Amino acid sequence: MVWAFAVFAMVALSEVPLLKGKSAREVLEEQGLWEEYKVKYPYNPMGKFERSAVGKVPMFNNADMTYYGVIFIGTPPQSFKVLFDTGSSILWVPSVYCTTPICNIHNKFNPDLSSTYRNNGSIFSIPYTTEGVGGFLGYDTVTVGGLTVVNQMFGLSEAETPNMMHVVFDGILGLAYPGLALSGATPVFDNMMSQGLVRQDLFAVYLSSKSQQGSVVTFGGVDPIHYYEPITWIPVTRELYWQIAVDSVTINGQVVACSGGCQAIVDTGTSFITGPEKSMNNINSCVGSRVLRGDYVVSCHKISQMPDVTFHIQGQEFTLPASAYVLQSQYGCRAAFFRGDDSLWILGDVFIQQYYSIFDRAHNMVGFAKARKST
Ligand SMILES: *[C@@H]1O[C@H](CO)[C@@H](O)[C@H](O)[C@H]1NC(C)=O
């Protein structure tokens, strides 16, 4: 029965496959060490036949660091690799008006080639932590996992900071709340909801690990093949990011951080787990990593002896074993707990790889369920 259901689910849903890419820093560090791979972008034809449905985008997995999938903008469609980012709210892609070498290595949108494009002309600029981008706004038809959103406002970049050269995706599709978007720029998922494209007002993210394929973001439904019951539902504490309350962080039953509670955002656009410096230092010293040039280095052969790190959320335990939080590369091993914001923790890809994540706009809840790894 499980299999019958799984097959049914696969036919009834149409998802966006996610590709996985790297942060600028990761690529800079390890440039050339990861095999370039070309992935055909399976366009799910089921989406065309179900008007109010579920859209799936398969995502590419590049070194377990960043996940991105393919979307289409304009008529006829121009394709872009975008990071599906629950930590921001605007959609932007490079435009043909960006002529710097940085833009030239990415796909660029040409509004003149789209019959459905309308100009807005207002300027936008987004300073990301490591990347920055600026340009102007327009509207066009955007197809995501077979779901076609009309009149989607998006940014056409004219300038990008040099860091963008090293990211494997072309642009970013923000999945956070409208309050985080530019004024008047309705986020893609808000348009999916208001245009009646999705069966349920939620989307879900499965991130593979160990550089395997199979990562996917599902719009309008959940995909039971990717998780084990039960789902723990956690209320969003502030509808801006996907922000939730964490009760504490423990190692071997001892509270090591977030004593008395803290706030965290669930962010597919961040590779690691970040938090206040003091908390991160504490966790790192408890798991046995030492600071070396800004990294928290661990001995690769000691991974099996390192303790679990447990996040207590909504009365449930979400445990990360060392095999999940230690990042391995040719340069060695390091723990994925990095210094970040003093007030907001980030539960990034390292966490989401272990816990299938459901982002429910209808109830303003985040659902976590143990991810069902394909192997
Ligand atoms: C551009 O977008 C802004 C913000 O939503 C809006 O106020 C303005 O009317 C738009 N202009 C055009 C020409 O569409």
Q: Do 177 and 61 share a structural domain? A: yes
Q: For the chain, what percent of residues have pLDDT higher than 90?
A: 63
- Over 90: is that where the pLDDT of 283 sits? yes
Residue 328 belongs to domain with CATH number: 2.40.70.10
Q: Would you say residue 107 has pLDDT above 70? A: yes
Tell me what the mean pLDDT of segment 274-303 comes to: 91
How is residue 46 written in tokens? 């089921």
Residue of 207, 193, 161 whose CA lies nearest to 69: 207
Q: Which of 198, 231, 255 is the last residue of a domain?
A: 198
Domain boundary among 158, 183, 198: 198
Instruction: Say what the pLDDT of residue 38 is.
Output: 25
Residue 346, H or E segment? strand 344-347
Q: How far is the CA of 140 from the centre of ligand 1 (A)?
A: 14
Quote the DSSP letter at residue 95. B
**Annotated catalytic residue: which of 190, 267, 349, 360?**
267
Name the band, by pLDDT with cuts 50, 70 and 90, for residue 180. confident
Among 200, 229, 224, 226, smallest CA distance to 215 is for 226
Q: What is the arithmetic mean of pLDDT over 62-69?
A: 79
Ligand 1-lining residues (CB < 6 angstroms): 120-122, 183-184
pLDDT digits 0-9 by tens, 332-354: 899 999 988 888 999 999 999 99
- Residue 152 CA to residue 117 CA, distance in Å, equals 10
pTM of this prediction?
Answer: 0.86
pLDDT for residue 170 is more than 70: yes
For residue 52, name the pLDDT band (cuts at 50, 70, 90): low
- The residue that leads in pLDDT, 48 or 70, is 70
The encoded tokens of residue 62 equal 């590049």
Residue 27 has pLDDT above 60, yes or no: no
Q: What is the pLDDT of residues 115-131, one digit of tens each?
A: 999 999 899 887 655 55
User: What is the DSSP pairing of strand 78-85 with strand 66-73?
Assistant: antiparallel
Cβ-proximal residues to 305 (8 Å cutoff; 6+ apart), any chain: none
Q: Is the dihedral of CA 223, 72, 74, 96 positive or negative?
A: positive
Nearest residue by C-alpha to atom 6 in ligand 1: 184
Q: Which residue range(s) make up the domain with 19?
A: 12-198
Same domain, yes or no: 184 and 58: yes
Quick one: 108 and 16 in the same domain?
yes
Q: Contact at 8 Å (CB) between 215 and 20? A: yes
Active site residue 267: yes
C-alpha angle 301-303-308 in degrees, rounded to nearest 5: 170
Residue nearest (by alpha carbon) to ligand 1 atom 11: 120
Are 94 and 19 members of one domain? Answer: yes
Ligand 1 probe mutation, 89, 117, 119, 122, most atoms within 8 A of CB = 122
